[in-house]
Structure 1
Amino acid sequence: MQIFSRKNHLILFLFVSIVLTASSCTGDKTGKKVKKSSEKKQSLVVRDWNKYPAIVERNTQAEVIALGDVHGGYERLVDLLSVGGLISKDQRSQVGYSWSGGNKILVCTGDTIDKGDRSLDVLDLLMALQAQAPGDGGEVVVTLGNHEVEFLADPQNKKAEEFRAELQKRGITPEAISNGEQPYGAWMMNRPFAARINDWFFAHGGNTSGRTISELAKGFREAVDRGDWGSAFLIGDDSLLEAQKWWEGNGDSTALLDAYLGALGVRHIAFGHDPGAFHKKGVIEEGKDGRIFLIDVGMSPAINYSKGALLIIQSAGKTTVARSLDAAGNKIELWPTGGQ
């Protein structure tokens, strides 16, 4: 048997240490040590893009109803959907209500959570209605808002204080949502980036930056597939979910909007995110001759600009009429005449 000297032992120790260090780190182009990709936090949800497309697209003659930011305002959501004829009380339902909207399509443009104190009840109701509506030929589409995506990116972010408190009461850890382990998180991770229904485009913030639907869908799929919920494409300052007053720009806003609409192949963009962006708060407003519609009316009690309003879109052939309906049942025709 060969006996190593102390010097040989030292050389062997140094060699093994170098090999182990090299195997646990890789170098980037700047020479900095970075963690191996296998050490990154992995989502438990692998999205089926055929079942859950990046952008929902529909062509229909059914009535389309759009809803902006709910932000945990459960009671007001129930009242508003009841006034709109979309739900009715049902003791047999686990959530106490069932879909009564027939073949109508309800589109919620995100920010269902945070600020208010009943975000989980909002999610429970929307998830239940989403399951019930197809039985009557209807559909409930819930797109992502910046608050859902920011929570998936960082469940400890400052905006989610109220939501975390709700989760704690139910014994759910925030991380169980953000990694998709818990059903609420899996549901969020499978929501679409936006929706195109007939010649309307629905998205939380609305800023497409002139991209086509295919380009938006591709960027969304890439971010989701790599688990990058905090990417600039999703929640950067100029993103579809975060940008505010993006139509103003530095030049002709009408020309900019026409270019954006042309790229999408639609005539109208409806979005939430920024109540009061058209200078009035608490009402749905039309802007730029029907090119854009602001549907965030600050309905959460935590914001309290209003008790809620729905954008109702009715199509008959090539004719489309858009009206608002508030929680008191008041209707205002917004487009094309703009009269009451």
Structure 2
Amino acid sequence: MFILSRLLRRCALLGAVISTPLAFAAGSQSIDEFYDGPYIFDGSDSTQHQVNWICNGKLKQQVHTQLNAQIQRPHNCGQLPQPSLNPDATQLSADSYSGIKQIVALSDVHGQFDVLVTLLQRHNIIDAQQNWTFGDGHMVMTGDMFDRGHQINEVLWLMYKLDAQATAAGGKLHLLMGNHEQMVLRGDLRYIHPRYELSSQLLERPYDQLYGRDTEIGQWLRSKNTLVKINDTLFLHGGIDIEWVNRKLALDKVNQLYRTNVDKTKAELKQDPLLSYLFFGNGPTWFRGYFDEDYSQQELERILAYFEVSRVAVGHTSQDRVLGRFNNKVIAIDSSIKKGKSGELLFIDQQLWRGTFTGEKLSL
């Protein structure tokens, strides 16, 4: 609400802002150096899309009608992404996979696009042009692309592209929803970077509606799972606590509940005991119990047995590197990419590996 109140105050000054340099909290960037987008909204019919760019602090718009053709950014509009729309972007993915030979996982990028690209390139997941090179491998991003950082759209459009390219190569990108995706989609904007206030202002939409159900990225995000089981590993953002087991919940049911209810307000979610558990407190996108000193390994064993897995891989709780706990039955993959300096990957083949920021692979 604080962010929105500041935005509303600035809306009254729109005319002045467009002609006056604006200093951002992140540094000395002025409005004349501000680039963002594209934000793609549904048009008047299913063949039209309104493409919105912010170039040098000014809004530019296009109409795009060709699904498989690359969208060209306007002249003098920085290095913003130029996506090709994927007609299969909202196709639902399975909850469980077996027989996957190579898996790579990471978490909590929080808009740190440059660190993300460097890390993926040094481990040959993408090439110099940021295209998928991981073949039939599966890549898991366990949420929290939104908030804190200053290159959210760049991260989102890269993941959007890799989603299509991985599938075409016989592999898979699993983009799981974290608590920050859920927060933004329901309008909780406490953690957005200040630069996106200007994007909201110029597009005349609250920030959450830049990813609404009438947008390309918003529809794509709402089709994604929150948990996935690959081989003998369960991947999710926060963690599973024993309440899941006691409630006898199933992956497919919970993933559908997240997709169906992600736009509801906090008050609406709190009215339903199951939704309140899933979206808040010790729910799967918030739980941090594995990192408590007194966490019960017996409880962990019950959870692993319930899902018939050997381990759980989670983000959300920051570490200095990819870290194994309880004899690698819990793998922490939030390697503090959000700080914008470095990060690591988890690799799973016949063994467990840390992929360091320098490109080394070390046994976990």
| Equivalent residue, structure 2, for 1:164 | 196
Q: 1:287 aligns with which of 320, 325, 332?
A: 325
Q: Secondary structure of 2:95's partner?
A: strand
| Cα distance in 2 for residues equivalent to 1:244 and 1:62 | 29
Give, in angstroms, the shift of residue 243 of structure 1: 1.6
For the pair 1:326 / 2:361, whether they are aligned, the reply is: no
Give, in angstroms, the shift of residue 178 of structure 1: 4.9
| Equivalent residue, structure 2, for 1:217 | 252
| Equivalent residue, structure 1, for 2:264 | 228
Give, in angstroms, the shift of residue 211 of structure 1: 2.8
| Cα distance in 2 for residues equivalent to 1:244 and 1:235 | 14
Structure 1 stretch 325-334 or stretch 63-72: which is displaced more? 325-334
Compared CA separation, residues 223 and 312, structure 1 to 2 (3 A): closer
For the pair 1:52 / 2:92, whether they are aligned, the reply is: yes
Equivalent AA in structure 1 for residue 97 of structure 2: R
Cα-to-partner distance string for 1:215-251 (whole Å, 9 max, x where unaligned): 3432442353254364323331111001223464866
- RMSD of aligned alpha carbons: 2.6
For the pair 1:87 / 2:140, whether they are aligned, the reply is: no
| Equivalent residue, structure 2, for 1:152 | 185
Cα-to-partner distance string for 1:158-197 (whole Å, 9 max, x where unaligned): 1124473374387373243453111121122111111100
Q: What are the equivalent positions in structure 2 for 1:250-289 lying under 5 Å apart?
A: 253-276=296-319, 282-289=320-327
Compared CA separation, residues 166 and 333, structure 1 to 2 (3 A): farther
For the pair 1:64 / 2:103, whether they are aligned, the reply is: yes
| Cα distance in 1 for residues equivalent to 2:288 and 2:106 | 18
| Equivalent residue, structure 2, for 1:238 | 282
| Equivalent residue, structure 2, for 1:21 | none
Q: 1:74 aligns with which of 90, 96, 113?
A: 113
| Cα distance in 1 for residues equivalent to 2:237 and 2:330 | 13
Give, in angstroms, the shift of residue 61 of structure 1: 3.6
| Cα distance in 1 for residues equivalent to 2:309 and 2:324 | 16
Give, in angstroms, the shift of residue 296 of structure 1: 0.3
CA contact (8 A) 1:153 1:178 kept: no
CA contact (8 A) 1:275 1:297 kept: yes
Compared CA separation, residues 194 and 172, structure 1 to 2 (3 A): farther
Q: Secondary structure of 1:123's partner?
A: helix
Q: Secondary structure of 1:72's partner?
A: coil
For the pair 1:298 / 2:336, whether they are aligned, the reply is: yes
| Equivalent residue, structure 2, for 1:31 | none
Compared CA separation, residues 134 and 169, structure 1 to 2 (3 A): farther
For the pair 1:118 / 2:151, whether they are aligned, the reply is: yes
TM-score by length of 1: 0.71
Give, in angstroms, the shift of residue 103 of structure 1: 1.0
Larger Rg: 1
Structure 1 stretch 65-74 or stretch 203-212: which is displaced more? 203-212
Q: Secondary structure of 1:323's partner?
A: strand
CA contact (8 A) 1:309 1:327 kept: yes
Give, in angstroms, the shift of residue 69 of structure 1: 0.9
| Cα distance in 2 for residues equivalent to 1:261 and 1:236 | 22
CA contact (8 A) 1:152 1:229 kept: no
Q: Secondary structure of 1:140's partner?
A: strand
Equivalent AA in structure 2 for residue 326 of structure 1: T
CA contact (8 A) 2:223 2:259 kept: no
Structure 1 stretch 219-228 or stretch 75-84: which is displaced more? 219-228
Unaligned runs of 5+ residues in structure 1 are: 1-43, 91-96, 277-281, 316-320, 335-340
Give, in angstroms, the shift of residue 52 of structure 1: 1.4
TM-score by length of 2: 0.66
Equivalent AA in structure 2 for residue 236 of structure 1: F
CA contact (8 A) 2:236 2:284 kept: yes
Q: 1:142 aligns with which of 157, 164, 175?
A: 175
Compared CA separation, residues 154 and 249, structure 1 to 2 (3 A): farther
| Cα distance in 1 for residues equivalent to 2:202 and 2:224 | 23
Unaligned runs of 5+ residues in structure 2 are: 1-41, 43-87, 270-275
Give, in angstroms, the shift of residue 204 of structure 1: 0.3
Q: 2:135 aligns with which of 99, 102, 106?
A: 102
| Equivalent residue, structure 2, for 1:6 | none
Cα-to-partner distance string for 1:277-315 (whole Å, 9 max, x where unaligned): xxxxx2110000111000001112xx25x5111000003
Q: 2:217 aligns with which of 161, 173, 184?
A: 184
Same amino acid, percent of matched pairs: 23
| Cα distance in 2 for residues equivalent to 1:222 and 1:329 | 38
CA contact (8 A) 2:233 2:312 kept: yes
| Cα distance in 1 for residues equivalent to 2:142 and 2:307 | 17
CA contact (8 A) 2:106 2:344 kept: yes
